[in-house]
Amino acid sequence: MNYPDHIEIGYSLVLDCHTSHIAVKLTEILTDIDRCSGKELEKEAKFLKNGDAGMIKIIPTKPMVVETFSEYPTLGRFAVRDMS
């Protein structure tokens, strides 16, 4: 994902999942991950810089339904993007 400079807890994003486009809030950065090796670099990172990869927790601002990728591959895909 490309975003300005860095993102941190509280950052607002848009989750695109099949036909839904829902605003979400970044509530936790679980880990910063090396994009090439997949190794964990830092647990509970404070922010992710542009170009970083990580595992994050997001909370939608309103209810939504999401299917699991293993059961419905076409409905289980999603993208997270900047609000602008």
pLDDT in tens, 59-80: 999 998 888 889 988 888 888 8
What the block records as the tokens of 16 is 């695109």
Q: Taking a C-beta distance cutoff of 8 angstroms, is the pair 47, 7 a contact? A: yes
Question: Coil, strand, or helix at residue 23?
Answer: strand
User: Could you give the number of structural domains in the chain?
Assistant: 1
Q: What is the CATH number of the domain that holds 23?
A: 2.40.30.10
Q: Give the residue numbers spanning the domain of 17.
A: 6-82
Nearest to residue 48, comparing CAs of 80, 70, 16?
Answer: 80
- What is the per-residue pLDDT for 56? 92
- What is the per-residue pLDDT for 26? 94
Q: Does some domain include residue 20? A: yes
3 pLDDT above the threshold of 70: no
1 pLDDT above the threshold of 80: no
Which tens digits make up the pLDDT trace of 8-60? Answer: 999 999 999 888 899 999 999 999 998 889 889 889 888 888 888 899 999 99
Q: Does some domain include residue 1? A: no
Q: Taking a C-beta distance cutoff of 8 angstroms, is the pair 52, 31 a contact? A: no
Q: Does some domain include residue 38? A: yes
- What is the per-residue pLDDT for 4? 67
Q: Does some domain include residue 17? A: yes
